[in-house]
């Protein structure tokens, strides 16, 4: 504003005292200065936004280490039912019970993707019910190459956020839906080519005939050919409807993506051959193959947008009276759309893949002291699962207690007993989450893990449904029936099951009878897994089921430890072999002043929890 005021005052003085030449010189100089300052201002403002986004990325890395969920970008809202956040699938083999998705989930903790496509891919890997060893090993090798390249990963996230227009207050993700819809339009340019050539020739003939007529050489033939030209051109007007809007929409999309594509196209990746191979669709080593590069198409789209501009300028539209300009641009735009349809899906696929892999690599880099890459064994190798120092990925390191367990072969069952809050459910989730990380291709929260391909199935946190007319027990029965059916399938890798508090929705007597029968039948199949229960009587199954082994978590109850007469339970969350040797319900009841009907040992046989 100061430049405008100063320029206006200077011009007025110059016109008043120095004549029109000096006045116009001041006007031109002021305009040039204003234009230059405006460009500098735009660059400075863009730089400030870039720094703010970079700072936000770094803050989120720290929040992931601290498990500060409030400082992480919010999970996509299920209310919007976007492709990146589809509604939960209660019939999924393991998604409902493992905290893989949702506000405080593994996906939200590791997700650094700036695009919906990247997040969708990462989610699909974590929820894949039938992992393939070859795909897992390929992804793991790529993650290992990306793990030490923190700058590459952060720049990829930065450019993605720039494309989405993401800010701290509005952490949106870039979506390719509009671009893909545009590509699905009428992309065949061939029907337009004869019209462009024919009307072009007719328009040129009109110009020649008109020139010759006004030069006095020929009769006014153009007066007959021009209406014919206009009639034929009008017949093809639907082909150019909205032409400028289409070109501008494509240009704006490429303008937003230009920085991200340029980064993926030109970023040096020495020492990362697999990542180079992944990004090959966006790169070209020779000028002869430049058609594969996004920058080539971005320049072409920019030129087409400029060529389509006469549609929004009534004066410039007169050019269509002479030549079929809009029709020619429509033909070129359709041709470019067809070319883009051949290359753009591969570009987006490589970008989304790189984002999802970078999210897993970021976890490996940030938690290098606590994570390791698993060994993915062959399907027929034993042990099928051998975890040393397994930790729960969602817990802060200072609160984490690591445990080890091994499942040697199909038929192995770990029966885990212990009281409430002793760590049984957390341990089951620890097994499931680390399996999903392993087969997604990422690092696991363990000192070491060997795992063969398995089909994971969980019965954890089963919920009833008032609107659906399902009681908790019936919902659990349906879930356990689906698990048994999956275990009986022999068309894939063995089933790895995790069952928490089996049949807890019914009374003690029937729960015990049903649990024994179910575990006997499950042990006869070729699966393996862990079952958590309060029923100490189930530990006797180890005497009749060859593959069943007992484990337990222990607790201590201190009566009146705080001087208020109330019992206090303490846990060390260590997994130990054998049945749980302690019970605590009566101690807690007695310390709270409730009647127990006897001392510790008298009703112990009916006090299982």
pLDDT tens for each residue of 465-476: 443 446 778 888
Report the DSSP beta bridge partners of residue 450.
375, 386
Closest CA to 520 of 536, 510, 509, 531: 531
Q: How many Cβ atoms from other residues are within 10 Å of residue 103's Cβ?
A: 10
pLDDT at 21: 61
Cα angle vertex 199, ends 195, 200, to 5°? 110
Helices 325-366 & 243-266 angle (0-180, nearest 10): 40
Cα angle vertex 153, ends 147, 159, to 5°? 170
The CATH H-level superfamily of 375-606 is P-loop containing nucleotide triphosphate hydrolases (3.40.50.300)
**CA separation for the pair 257, 593 (Å, rounded):** 68
Low-confidence ranges of the chain (pLDDT < 70): 1-31, 33-35, 37-38, 41, 46, 77-89, 169, 185-189, 239-240, 242-244, 284-291, 309-317, 463-470, 558-567, 584, 587-588, 590-592, 598-609
**CA separation for the pair 291, 22 (Å, rounded):** 51
pLDDT at 222: 79
pLDDT at 595: 81
**CA separation for the pair 128, 97 (Å, rounded):** 15
Q: pTM value?
A: 0.83
Task: Break the chain down into helix, strand, coil percent, rounded to 5.
Answer: 55, 10, 35
Closest CA to 478 of 461, 491, 459: 459
Alpha carbon distances (Å) from 531 to 225, 429, 568? 87, 12, 27
pLDDT at 603: 46
**Cα atoms found within 13 Å of the Cα of residue 33, Cβ hemisphere only:** 14
- The residue with tokens 């689906």 is 482
Q: Which two tokens stand for residue 173?
A: 């993700």
The answer for residues whose C-beta is within 8 angstroms of residue 478's C-beta and 6 or more apart is 470
pLDDT at 326: 79
Residues in the chain: 609
SS (H, E, C) 451-493: ECCCEEEEECCCCCECCCCECHHHHHHHHHHHHHHHHHCCCCC
Q: Which two tokens stand for residue 443?
A: 């690092």
pLDDT at 110: 95
For 393-414, b where at least 16 C-beta lie within 10 A, e where not — what string?
bbeeeeebbbbebebeebbbbb
pLDDT at 232: 85
Cα angle vertex 184, ends 280, 255, to 5°? 55
Do residues 111 and 126 touch, judged by C-beta distance below 8 A? no
For 178-204, b where at least 16 C-beta lie within 10 A, e where not — what string?
ebeebbeeebebeebeebbeebbebbe
Q: Is the peptide bond before 564 cis (omega within 30 degrees of 0)?
A: no
Do residues 56 and 50 touch, judged by C-beta distance below 8 A? no
Closest CA to 89 of 117, 119, 116, 129: 129
Do residues 608 and 534 touch, judged by C-beta distance below 8 A? yes
pLDDT at 596: 73
**CA separation for the pair 489, 438 (Å, rounded):** 23
Do residues 232 and 202 touch, judged by C-beta distance below 8 A? yes
The answer for residues whose C-beta is within 8 angstroms of residue 31's C-beta and 6 or more apart is 7
């Amino acid at each position: 504003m100061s430049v405008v005021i100063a320029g206006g005052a200077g011009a007025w003085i110059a016109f008043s005292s120095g004549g029109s030449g000096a006045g116009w010189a001041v006007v031109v100089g002021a305009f040039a200065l204003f234009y230059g300052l405006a460009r500098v201002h735009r660059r400075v403002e863009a730089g400030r936004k870039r720094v703010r986004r970079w700072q936000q990325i770094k803050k989120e890395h720290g929040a992931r280490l601290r498990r500060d969920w409030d400082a992480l970008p919010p999970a996509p809202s299920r209310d919007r039912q976007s492709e990146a956040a589809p509604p939960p699938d209660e019939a999924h083999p393991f998604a409902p019970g493992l905290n893989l998705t949702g506000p405080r989930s593994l996906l939200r903790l590791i997700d650094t993707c700036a695009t919906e496509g990247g997040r969708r891919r990462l989610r699909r890997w974590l929820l894949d019910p039938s992992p393939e060893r070859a795909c897992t090993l390929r992804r793991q090798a790529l993650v290992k190459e990306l793990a030490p390249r923190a700058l590459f990963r952060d720049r990829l996230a930065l450019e993605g956020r720039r494309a989405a227009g993401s800010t701290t207050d509005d952490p949106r993700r870039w979506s390719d839906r509009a671009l893909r819809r545009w590509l699905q339009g009428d992309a065949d340019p061939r029907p337009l080519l004869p019209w462009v050539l024919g009307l072009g020739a007719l328009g040129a003939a009109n110009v020649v005939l008109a020139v010759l007529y006004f030069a006095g050489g020929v009769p006014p033939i153009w007066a007959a050919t021009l209406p014919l030209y206009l009639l034929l051109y009008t017949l093809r007007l639907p082909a150019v409807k909205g032409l400028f809007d289409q070109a501008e929409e494509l240009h704006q999309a490429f303008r937003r993506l230009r920085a991200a594509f340029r980064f993926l196209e030109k970023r040096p990746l020495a020492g990362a051959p697999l990542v180079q191979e992944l990004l090959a669709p966006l790169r070209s080593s020779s000028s002869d193959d430049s058609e594969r590069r996004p920058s080539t198409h971005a320049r072409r789209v920019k030129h087409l947008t400029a060529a389509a501009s006469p549609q929004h300028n009534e004066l410039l539209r007169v050019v269509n009276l002479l030549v079929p300009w809009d029709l020619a641009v429509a033909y070129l735009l359709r041709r470019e759309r067809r070319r883009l349809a051949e290359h753009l899906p591969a570009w987006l696929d490589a970008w989304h893949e790189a984002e999802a892999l970078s999210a897993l690599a970021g976890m490996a880099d940030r938690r290098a002291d606590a994570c390791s890459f698993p060994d993915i064994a062959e399907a027929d190798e034993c042990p099928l699962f051998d975890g040393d120092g397994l930790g729960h990925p969602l817990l802060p390191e200072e609160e984490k207690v690591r445990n080890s367990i091994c499942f040697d072969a199909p038929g192995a069952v770990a029966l885990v007993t212990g009281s409430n809050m002793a760590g049984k459910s957390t341990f089951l989730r620890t097994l499931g989450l680390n399996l999903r990380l392993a087969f997604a291709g990422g690092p696991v929260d363990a000192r070491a893990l060997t795992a063969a391909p398995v089909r994971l199935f969980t019965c954890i946190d089963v919920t009833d449904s008032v609107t659906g007319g399902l009681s908790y027990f019936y919902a659990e029965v349906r879930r356990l029936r689906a698990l048994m059916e999956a275990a009986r399938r022999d068309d894939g890798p063995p089933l790895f099951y995790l069952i928490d508090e089996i049949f807890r929705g019914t009374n003690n007597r029937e729960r015990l009878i049903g649990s024994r029968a179910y575990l006997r039948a499950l042990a006869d199949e070729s699966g393996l897994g862990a079952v958590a229960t309060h029923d100490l009587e189930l530990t006797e199954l180890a005497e009749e089921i060859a593959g069943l082994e007992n484990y337990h978590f222990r607790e201590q109850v201190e009566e009146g430890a705080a001087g208020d007469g109330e019992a206090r339970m303490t846990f060390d969350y260590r997994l130990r072999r054998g049945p749980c040797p302690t019970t605590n319900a009566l101690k807690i009841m007695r310390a709270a002043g409730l009647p127990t009907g006897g001392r510790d040992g008298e009703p112990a046989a009916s006090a299982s929890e």
